[in-house]
Each structure stands twice: as structure tokens, then as C-alpha cells.
């Protein structure tokens, strides 16, 4: 297939001249320039950003419905009524479930029943048969976590059966709200709390805070420390990709420290196995190393779920679970690699420049999203990947490459009449259709993408500041740690380096590259994971000088920590410095 060799445009987040002018005064450090690029210019705002405080997070009772919910739960507390917590199967839901079960039990609720639907066979949502089953078991109070805001029918059925449902969710409500006992969702139109950035587990955590306070107001004290469940909350907040701003920053900063020293046997064992024990954890460790192992569990629908590991009290059982998890993850990696390979074969003769689309009977439904992510980066265009089940139904996922401006939901809407269902976000969506519609769907997607302006396809990579290797030292790394946690809406800083001399290029297992880059005799190691075709071509041409976009990170190897550049993109330098002569 023709490689799309044009790379993404590199654009600064704010004018570099403005930053340069800033340097005319008291020369700010690289961190100062990064803060400036992220829009922080006021010393007070910067102080607040660098020192987020748990004591300053919002009052939970500012969220609409909180008092009604807390009162209902306190009634259940006094009457020792069973409380079912019904949570989504993803890590947001599972972590929210764990913190509710722990918190309620620690505060003296005697009968807390955790429930989750199965990812593949039951699917996302708050399901009527599960509610009916709970009623048969005597449950009359259900608290949802990370799910329920669109479950109009299930809430109506629950009401019919005499069950009070407290919906806690953070997803956007639809036109019709469910007839629940009360709804706690900071994204409701009428909610005044400004806490719409909380994860599903975050909303549940604010409910726990409200319950603890309401008990206290009745003179009932308990030894439950809200801080002790911040490890769960942190996993949820990072993996659900909600904005790492305001309260979320304070919660995740404290939560990372909590996770680092967690004594929960399951989390401890997983940290040990992943060599993350005894180091200072950052949000990227959780997002890229820790959470994917837990995620593999629900993807493959096995007997063991994240919640089981979260709540396991026995150390040797927890260690066995971690063994199983890592084996499952290896199985997931295998399934993904097979699907990946197969997808590339399927796409060998693909000549549509706007997107790639492959469906196959051999794809496992649990990995299509991961394969789509990889293909979108490899081909630098939207990727649609579907698993064909029973020869007739295609269910799949779509992803766009980093920096691509298009919207997948809009794209899928262009063939809405051909789909059984679809949904999601601009950058990640899911869909289902009958296989006999495949050709028509491809045609209507092509039409859709053709109609869009050409510029819309040009992907863009944004960077914060231009830097030089001379700027990079331990002090900068410490500054970055203080500036974190980084994540959604508070991105890890991306630096641009120009005209670095390439002194070594090595290929690593898995197709990654390791480089040594130099500037004025100062050298840094660099790593490039999963290069695109274009990046690979550039490195295969053995360039003498490169311009790169990179994030800074620590690389630990054999107990030694070194600073390395994690490359986001690269291109051959246009102006090359003749050895010994600096053209600037």
C-alpha cells in the first residue's frame, strides 16, 4: 500500500516569540517556559497548580441530589438494609465499586453487595434481568457507579419492583432522565457544582465523603479514612482519561502516593511484579504499565476480575491472582499480535487514502480497539477494525491517530442507517452492523471523508517549548515531577529539539528504536516506540541530524536512573550544522 509519507505538522501551543521575549527579563527555567506555554502566567495560579491541596477540594454536598442520597443511605445504615453497588466493568467502574464496598463496610454498613455486568456477554449498562435477580435476593436499594444515567427502562422497572435506585454517574445525560430515586451526576444540566470533570469513581467518592459527613453530623464516628481509598480513585481517574485539573489534580497527586505505599495485597503484588515497587509512581506508570494488565482481565471475560484483586485480603492468593493476570495479559498480547498481523495482510492492497477498514472472523472482540489504535498510528489515518461473529455480525472499534482533527462519531453518523448501532467519542468509537452492509458502509465513509476539507486530514502535533539538550538535567526532572501529574487536559510537556546529531541508531525487539542524540558534545539517550512507516524510513536512511519532538522521562535500568527522550516524532533536519561551526 502507498505509505502516507507526509508527517504531521508541528505546532507550538503558544508563540515561541512570546516565550523568547519572556526570557529577556529574569531568565526563566525550562519549567517556567513550559508553564507559560500551558497558559499559567499568574504567580498565584502557578503556586496553586504546583501545590494542590486535598483540604481545598469541593464540598460533596454541592453536587445536586447529594443530601437525598446520603439520607437514604443513612436510613439503610440504621436498618441494616442490604445495599447493592452496581458498577460498570471498566476500571473506572471497578475502582469505584472497590472504593464504595471498602468505604461503606468500613463505615459500618453490614450488608454491601457488589455487582457488575459482564463485558462481552452482557455488555455496558444497567440491566433489567440483573435488577430482577437482585430483587429476588431481597435487595431494595441499589447504588450505581459509572453507569445508569441513560437507563430509563431499568430504573422504571426497578421502581415498579419497589427498589430505590441511586444513580451515580458522570456520563452525559440524554434527553430523558431515568426515573431513579435520585440522580447524582455533576454533568446534569441543573447541577451547579462544576465537578463535571470527575470520573465515575470520583462521583462515588464524593458520595462516600457525603455519607461520612452525614454520619458524623448524627454523632456517629468511624475509623474509616477517606484517604485510604484514593489509590482506587487514582487508577480510575487516570484510566478514564478525565481532565487532570482542579480537584482531580489534588486527588491524583495524593492518590499516587497512596498507591505507592498501598498495603492491599493485590495492588502490592502487581506493583512488585511490574518492578514499580519502591519507585515514585507517576500517572504515566499507572496509565501505561499498571492499568493495562488489569484491563486485560475484563477484555477477555475471565473468572478473575479487577475487583477480585482489589479486595483480596490474603497475600498468597493475591500473588496467584497476579500470576494469572500476567498470563492473561500475555494471552491478550498474543491475540492482539495475531490480529495485528492479519489486519496488515488484509490491508496489503488497500488504496483508500482517507481511512483503513478491516473486518475478520479471526479477530477477538476484546482486542479490536487496541488493533485500531495501532493501525491508526501506523497508517496515520482513521482506522476501523471489526470482529465478525457467527459469520454475520460485525462488531468493532474505530480510532484516530494522535493529533488528527476529525470526529469518528460524525463519520459513523454518515452511515447511521446501515449500522445496527454505534457510539463513542471523537477519538474512539464502537459500532455494530450486518456483514452484508460492509461494502455500502465503506462507500459512505469514503464519501464522508471526501467531503471534508483536505486540511482536516492533516494531523498536528503540538509542543510546548523549544529546548536544547543543555537545558536537560536532574533539576528539570524534579521540576517536572512537581508539575505533574500529567494526563488529559494537562498534557505531559512536549519539547522540540532542532538539529541533534545522531551518533547511534539501534533496532530493538518489537520494532522499537533506541538512539543516541548529541548537541555540542552533550548526549542523551532516546527511545522511539512503535514507529510509523514514515519514521522507520527516516531512521533506515541513517540521517546525520534530526529534529525531534519528545517528552522527558526517567529510564531505570539495572538500578540506574538516566534521563531519556521519549520521541513523539522526528524529521531530518533541514539545516545541518557543519562540525565545529555553529550556524546560529
Residues near Mn ion (CB under 5 A): 92, 146, 200, 240
Its sign, for the CA torsion 83, 84, 88, 90, is positive
Residue closer to Mn ion by CB (options 170, 344) is 170
CA distance 2 to 380: 12
Residue 153 CB coordination number (10 Å): 13
Residue closer to Mn ion by CB (options 123, 511) is 123
Residue closer to Mn ion by CB (options 144, 376) is 144
Question: Are the C-beta atoms of residues 434 and 6 closer than 8 Å to each other?
Answer: no
CA distance 173 to 28: 45
CB of 232 to Mn ion, least distance (A): 13
CB of 152 to Mn ion, least distance (A): 19
- Helix runs in 484-532, H state only: none
Assigned C-alpha cell, 401: 491517530
- Helix runs in 182-226, H state only: 200-217
User: Checking phi first, is residue 290 left (phi over 0); if not, alpha (psi -120 to 50) or beta?
Assistant: alpha
Residue closer to Mn ion by CB (options 48, 171) is 171
CB of 373 to Mn ion, least distance (A): 19
Question: Are the C-beta atoms of residues 142 and 164 closer than 8 Å to each other?
Answer: yes
Long-range contacts of residues 13-16, Cβ cutoff 8 Å, at least 24 apart: 13/37, 13/38, 13/462, 13/463, 13/464, 14/39, 16/465, 16/466
CB of 199 to Mn ion, least distance (A): 6
Helices and strands counted in the chain (H then E): 20, 18
Buried b (16+ CB within 10 A) or exposed e, 461-486: bbbbbebebebbeeebeebbeebbbb
CB of 294 to Mn ion, least distance (A): 15
Give Dmax (Cα) for the chain: 82
Residue closer to Mn ion by CB (options 94, 336) is 94
Q: Tell which residue, 201, 223, 198, 202, has the closest CA to residue 212.
A: 223
CB of 238 to Mn ion, least distance (A): 12
CB of 504 to Mn ion, least distance (A): 43
Residue closer to Mn ion by CB (options 144, 336) is 144
CB of 240 to Mn ion, least distance (A): 4
Residues facing residue 83 across a β-bridge: 112
CB of 164 to Mn ion, least distance (A): 23
Residue closer to Mn ion by CB (options 124, 435) is 124
Residue closer to Mn ion by CB (options 37, 239) is 239
CB of 91 to Mn ion, least distance (A): 9
Angle at CA of residue 266, ends 265 and 269, nearest 5°: 80
Q: Tell which residue, 400, 393, 487, has the closest CA to residue 431.
A: 393
Which residue number places its CB atom closest to Mn ion?
92
CB of 554 to Mn ion, least distance (A): 30
Angle at CA of residue 197, ends 196 and 201, nearest 5°: 95
Strands (E), 4-130: 9-12, 83-87, 112-115
Question: Are the C-beta atoms of residues 59 and 509 closer than 8 Å to each other?
Answer: no
Residue closer to Mn ion by CB (options 430, 493) is 430
Q: Tell which residue, 138, 156, 148, has the closest CA to residue 76.
A: 138
CB of 90 to Mn ion, least distance (A): 6
Residue closer to Mn ion by CB (options 88, 519) is 88
Residue closer to Mn ion by CB (options 240, 312) is 240
Question: Are the C-beta atoms of residues 140 and 162 closer than 8 Å to each other?
Answer: yes
Residue closer to Mn ion by CB (options 128, 241) is 241
Amino acid at each position: 500500500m502507498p505509505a502516507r509519507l507526509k508527517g504531521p505538522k508541528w505546532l507550538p501551543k503558544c508563540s515561541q516569540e512570546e516565550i523568547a521575549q519572556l526570557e529577556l527579563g529574569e531568565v526563566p527555567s525550562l519549567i517556567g517556559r513550559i508553564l507559560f506555554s500551558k497558559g499559567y502566567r499568574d504567580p498565584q495560579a502557578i503556586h496553586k497548580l504546583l501545590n494542590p491541596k486535598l483540604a481545598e477540594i469541593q464540598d460533596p454536598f454541592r453536587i445536586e441530589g447529594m443530601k437525598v442520597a446520603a439520607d437514604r443511605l443513612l436510613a439503610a445504615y440504621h436498618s441494616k438494609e442490604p445495599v447493592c453497588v452496581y458498577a460498570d466493568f471498566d476500571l473506572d467502574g471497578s475502582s469505584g465499586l472497590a472504593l464504595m464496598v471498602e468505604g461503606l463496610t468500613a463505615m459500618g454498613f453490614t450488608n454491601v453487595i457488589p455487582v457488575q455486568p459482564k463485558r462481552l456477554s452482557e455488555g455496558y449498562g444497567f440491566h433489567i434481568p440483573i435488577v430482577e435477580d437482585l430483587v429476588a435476593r431481597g435487595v431494595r436499594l441499589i447504588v450505581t457507579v459509572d453507569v445508569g444515567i441513560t437507563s430509563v427502562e431499568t430504573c422504571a422497572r426497578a421502581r415498579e419492583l419497589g427498589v430505590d435506585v441511586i444513580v451515580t454517574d458522570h456520563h452525559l445525560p440524554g434527553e430523558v432522565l431515568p426515573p431513579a430515586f435520585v440522580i447524582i451526576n455533576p454533568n446534569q444540566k441543573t447541577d451547579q457544582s462544576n465537578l463535571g470533570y470527575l470520573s465515575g469513581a470520583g462521583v462515588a467518592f464524593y458520595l462516600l465523603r457525603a455519607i461520612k459527613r452525614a454520619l458524623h453530623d448524627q454523632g456517629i464516628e468511624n475509623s474509616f479514612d477517606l484517604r485510604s481509598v484514593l489509590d482506587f480513585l487514582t487508577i480510575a481517574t487516570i484510566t478514564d482519561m478525565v481532565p487532570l485539573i482542579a480537584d482531580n489534580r489534588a486527588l491524583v497527586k495524593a492518590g499516587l502516593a497512596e498507591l505507592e505505599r498501598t498495603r492491599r495485597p493485590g495492588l502490592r503484588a502487581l506493583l512488585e511484579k511490574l518492578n514499580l515497587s519502591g519507585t515514585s509512581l507517576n500517572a504515566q506508570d499507572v496509565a501505561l504499565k499498571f492499568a493495562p494488565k488489569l484491563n486485560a482481565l475484563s477484555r477477555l471475560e475471565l473468572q478473575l476480575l479487577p475487583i477480585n484483586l482489589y479486595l483480596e485480603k490474603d497475600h498468597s492468593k493475591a500473588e496467584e491472582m497476579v500470576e494469572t493476570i500476567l498470563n492473561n495479559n500475555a494471552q491478550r498480547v498474543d491475540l492482539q499480535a495475531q490480529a495485528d498481523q492479519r489486519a496488515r495482510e488484509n490491508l496489503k492492497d488497500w488504496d483508500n487514502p482517507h481511512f483503513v477498514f478491516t473486518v475478520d472472523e479471526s479477530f477477538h472482540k476484546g482486542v479490536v480497539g487496541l488493533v485500531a489504535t495501532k493501525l491508526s498510528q501506523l497508517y496515520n489515518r482513521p482506522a476501523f477494525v471489526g470482529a465478525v461473529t457467527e459469520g454475520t455480525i460485525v462488531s468493532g472499534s474505530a480510532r484516530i491517530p494522535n493529533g488528527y482533527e476529525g470526529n469518528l462519531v460524525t463519520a459513523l453518523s454518515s452511515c447511521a442507517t446501515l449500522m445496527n448501532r454505534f457510539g463513542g467519542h471523537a477519538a474512539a468509537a464502537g459500532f455494530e452492523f450486518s456483514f452484508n452492509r460492509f461494502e455500502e458502509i465503506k462507500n459512505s465513509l469514503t464519501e464522508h471523508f471526501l467531503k471534508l476539507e483536505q486540511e482536516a486530514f492533516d494531523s498536528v502535533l503540538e509542543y510546548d517549548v523549544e529546548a536544547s539538550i543543555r537545558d536537560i538535567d536532574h533539576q528539570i526532572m524534579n521540576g517536572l515531577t512537581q508539575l505533574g501529574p500529567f494526563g488529559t487536559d494537562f498534557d505531559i510537556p512536549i519539547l522540540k529539539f532542532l538539529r541533534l546529531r545522531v551518533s547511534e541508531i539501534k533496532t530493538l525487539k518489537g520494532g522499537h528504536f533506541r538512539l543516541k542524540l548529541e548537541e555540542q558534545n552533550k548526549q542523551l539517550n532516546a527511545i522511539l516506540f512503535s514507529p510509523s512507516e514514515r519514521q522507520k524510513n527516516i531512521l533506515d536512511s541513517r540521517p546525520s541530524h534530526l529534529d525531534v519532538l519528545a517528552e522527558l522521562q526517567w529510564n531505570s535500568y539495572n538500578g540506574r536512573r538516566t534521563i531519556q527522550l521519549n520521541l513523539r516524532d522526528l524529521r531530518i533536519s533541514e539545516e545541518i550544522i557543519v562540525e565545529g561551526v555553529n550556524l546560529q
